[in-house]
Chains A and B, each alone.
Chain A
Amino acid sequence: MPGKSLRLNQEHIIGFICIAISLVILSITPTFPKGKAAIGLTGPAFFPNLLALIYIVCGIYQLWYGTIKATEFSSLTFTAFKNLFNKKETQTAYLVIIMMVGFILLFDFLGFILTTYLFLFLFMRRLGVSVLHSLFYSFILTGTIYFLFGWLFTISLPSGILSYVGL
């Protein structure tokens, strides 16, 4: 059909994800204990199953919608996919995500002060803040958060390896 493309687009992807989530739910819920229908006691699977069925309908609609309105959405070609990773700003966003993963992994081990300072310094450097400013603002922010959360609100923040030096 001229002007119409049946290639994969974002609406299709959303549809597939909805159906996949529903199938995962429907494959897990049979292991849940059963309810007692005679007294109206629904089991733990009742509500998730109901939602999974709604999600399947949503998914099918998205697949249908993505197909009939195919011309309105750009197809997911290899070039489009590659462009997602090529843009410098997008790369920075991915790097920030990796930094956050590192923050989570090191938080308990290095402790609040070291992890926060290191995270903020690297974050600011990546976003173009000068070395001196990064060092200074990381110190100020770490100190402010420590004062507010640790001291004022008495929330226990992990000391990590600094606990060995008595901090």
Chain B
Amino acid sequence: METILSVLRIEILIPWLLSMVLGIFVGAMPGLTATMAVALIVPLTFHTPPIVGLAMILGVSFTSIFAGDIPATFLRVPGTPASGAAVLDGYEMNKQGKGPLAIALDLICSTLGGLIGVLILITVSPVLASFALKFTHFEYFWLALLGLSMSAVITKGSTMKGLISMVGGLILSTIGLDISTGYPRFSFGSTYLMGGINFIPVMIGLFGISEVLRSISVTSLEDMGNAAVTTNVKADFRSVGTVMARNKRLILQSSLIGTLIGALPGAGADIAAWVSYGMAKKTSKKPETFGSGSEEGVIAPTTANNAALGGTWIPALVFGIPGDSITAIVLGAMMMYGLKPGPLVFQGDRVLVNQIFTVAVISQFFLLILGYLGIRAFTWFFKFPRNIVLAGITIFSLIGAYAMRSSVFDIGIVLVFGILGYLMERVTIPLPPFILGLILGPMIEENLRIGLVKTSGNFWPFFTRPISAFFAATLILIFLYEPIKLLIRKKLARRTNL
């Protein structure tokens, strides 16, 4: 109780809440990521006491990850990379007039996922962090492949087209300086290409600009003057309870997956959302509804990405290893405050650690209120005619991409991938596997090649280390799950007929 009261002081509360409002704004804006929101807030925290700064950082990260789901649901433009998976079913639900339910599910499940993630952070953080520390390149290679295998699961229609899209993303990830030798690959002398292709402008192009082009090419000029979103743009909490009661196992599963993946250094909220989505589809009784407006398809990624935030703090706090880019900034900020993240923090700064945990829990309740107000604010925006909204989305996408590195080249990337995404959709090549390939490509290549150096070119250790073997077996099981399920069903049907 003393700790709770110590963080609910006005000098902490005001900057904390203001940061959370900023998080909603930044998160809902395509091109501006949760990492960017945290990076923007950190300079403001240098002159504040550590707990004020950490409350601001925690608050802004939780709201920005949730807010990314708002444009993902209503406009098919993910506000942050972590909302990439939320586009698939959230937008489909919106097209069916169930957008208010989808966004209400997003808000409640984000809160629940965040809460479970934080509770796990508080209770089992030392155990999970020590488990993640045992990982070497061999395990990370399998982990990345496991993430990539989800693209096969999430692909609708032709699996081959899903594979083509995924390999396309992997190929794109090879552009730039080689990780081992520093040799510039496929850069053709361009300094921009030497730095590699950033996945944020690619994602804005594939999902944002391609949707603008598609929308323009299928809407007549007469219809352009109508409201951008004809469905009811508000949160509908009436049937949320029933839907959540139906999916309580999924919420728990996604929270656990999210926290676990968040705790693995390098794998953040975006990977957590995709893996959770894939697992939800695998374990669902109605996997065929995924991608067509499935409630489970909304619940799984949105729960996991907020749960992952709690997970990312586990290695950061306990061992001083960042779980993702956000906690990397946090670690830098903590050092600026004169704190040394690691096991000693739990002894020397026990009061501060308890305050951090308390702030993380209370932030979830603030998220409920501020998230609801955020949705209301965006309701007003969506009442504009489609042609004006399309103009707004286009310019925000273009400037959002520019804002990342103040580079016109990134605007070009948005345009190129906007056109590519438009063409890919016309020939029914799915877009999400492309993004997944681009994100996970460097992780796969780096760990595969470094692993091979460690073993002098021998592939065998990739299969013989206990955790590697477990991941490899899981991967094989994922691919064999469907055929085995079919086989068992056939056998059961045959027995019943007998």
Chain A complexes with chain B? yes
A99 to B408, CA, bound (A): 15
Contact B403 A124 (CB under 8 A): no
When the two chains form the complex, which single residue of B180, B217, B385, B403 contacts A89, counting CB atoms closer than 8 Å?
B217
Task: Name the CB-closest residue of B to A49.
Answer: B174
For B115, what are the chain A residues with a Cβ–Cβ distance below 8 Å?
none
For A153, what are the chain B residues with a Cβ–Cβ distance below 8 Å?
32, 40, 403
Which residues of chain A in 109-161 are interfacial with respect to chain B, using CB atoms and an 8 Å cutoff? Answer: 112, 116, 119-120, 123-124, 127-129, 133, 137-138, 141, 145, 148-149, 153, 155-157
Q: Take A96-B212, A104-B411, A137-B391 as given contacts and tell me if A42 and B452 are in contact as well, using a CB distance cutoff of 8 Å.
A: yes
B170 contacts A by Cβ under 8 Å: yes
Which residues of chain B in 448-476 are interfacial with respect to chain A, using CB atoms and an 8 Å cutoff? Answer: 448-449, 452-458
Contact B427 A10 (CB under 8 A): yes
A80 contacts B by Cβ under 8 Å: no
Total A-B contacts with CB atoms under 8 angstroms apart: 160
Expressed in whole angstroms, the minimum distance between the Cβ of B412 and any Cβ of chain A is 5
B221 contacts A by Cβ under 8 Å: yes
A1 contacts B by Cβ under 8 Å: no
Contact B185 A149 (CB under 8 A): no
Contact B395 A55 (CB under 8 A): no
Expressed in whole angstroms, the minimum distance between the Cβ of B358 and any Cβ of chain A is 29
A6 contacts B by Cβ under 8 Å: no
A21 to B174, CA, bound (A): 13
A44 contacts B by Cβ under 8 Å: yes
Task: Name the CB-closest residue of B to A101.
Answer: B415
A48 contacts B by Cβ under 8 Å: yes
When the two chains form the complex, which single residue of B160, B224, B445 contacts A127, counting CB atoms closer than 8 Å?
B224
Which residues of chain B in 423-464 are interfacial with respect to chain A, using CB atoms and an 8 Å cutoff? Answer: 427, 429, 445, 448-449, 452-458
A18 to B163, CA, bound (A): 11
A123 to B454, CA, bound (A): 56
Which residues of chain A in 20-75 are interfacial with respect to chain B, using CB atoms and an 8 Å cutoff? Answer: 21, 25, 28, 32-33, 37-44, 46-48, 51-52, 54-55, 58, 61-62, 65
Task: Name the CB-closest residue of A to B175.
Answer: A48
Contact A33 B181 (CB under 8 A): yes
For A37, what are the chain B residues with a Cβ–Cβ distance below 8 Å?
457
Expressed in whole angstroms, the minimum distance between the Cβ of A140 and any Cβ of chain B is 9
For A137, what are the chain B residues with a Cβ–Cβ distance below 8 Å?
388, 391
Contact B391 A42 (CB under 8 A): no
Task: Name the CB-closest residue of B to A155.
Answer: B403
When the two chains form the complex, which single residue of A38, A47, A58, A141 contacts B174, counting CB atoms closer than 8 Å?
A47
B220 contacts A by Cβ under 8 Å: yes
A101 to B414, CA, bound (A): 11
Expressed in whole angstroms, the minimum distance between the Cβ of A114 and any Cβ of chain B is 13
Contact A48 B174 (CB under 8 A): yes
For A127, what are the chain B residues with a Cβ–Cβ distance below 8 Å?
216, 221, 224, 387, 390-391
Contact B171 A38 (CB under 8 A): no
Q: Take A38-B456, A43-B181, A44-B180 as given contacts and tell me if A141 and B167 are in contact as well, using a CB distance cutoff of 8 Å.
A: no
Task: Name the CB-closest residue of B to A65.
Answer: B160
A162 contacts B by Cβ under 8 Å: no
For A46, what are the chain B residues with a Cβ–Cβ distance below 8 Å?
449
Expressed in whole angstroms, the minimum distance between the Cβ of A137 and any Cβ of chain B is 5
Contact B448 A47 (CB under 8 A): yes
For A14, what are the chain B residues with a Cβ–Cβ distance below 8 Å?
161, 164, 427, 429
Expressed in whole angstroms, the minimum distance between the Cβ of B390 and any Cβ of chain A is 7
Task: Name the CB-closest residue of B to A117.
Answer: B395
Task: Name the CB-closest residue of A to B220.
Answer: A89
For B458, what are the chain A residues with a Cβ–Cβ distance below 8 Å?
40
Residues of A bordering B, CB below 8 Å = 10, 13-14, 18, 21, 25, 28, 32-33, 37-44, 46-48, 51-52, 54-55, 58, 61-62, 65, 87-90, 92-93, 96-97, 100-101, 103-104, 107-108, 112, 116, 119-120, 123-124, 127-129, 133, 137-138, 141, 145, 148-149, 153, 155-157
7 A-B interface contacts by CB (under 8 A):
A25-B171, A32-B185, A33-B181, A90-B217, A93-B213, A96-B212, A153-B40
Residues of B bordering A, CB below 8 Å = 25, 29, 32, 40, 160-161, 163-164, 167-168, 170-171, 174, 178, 180-181, 183, 185-186, 209, 212-213, 216-222, 224-225, 385, 387-388, 390-392, 394-396, 398-399, 402-403, 406, 408, 411-412, 415, 418-419, 422, 427, 429, 445, 448-449, 452-458
- Beyond A48-B171, A128-B225, list 10 extra A-B contacts (CB 8 Å): A58-B164, A97-B213, A97-B419, A100-B415, A112-B399, A124-B388, A124-B391, A128-B221, A128-B222, A153-B403
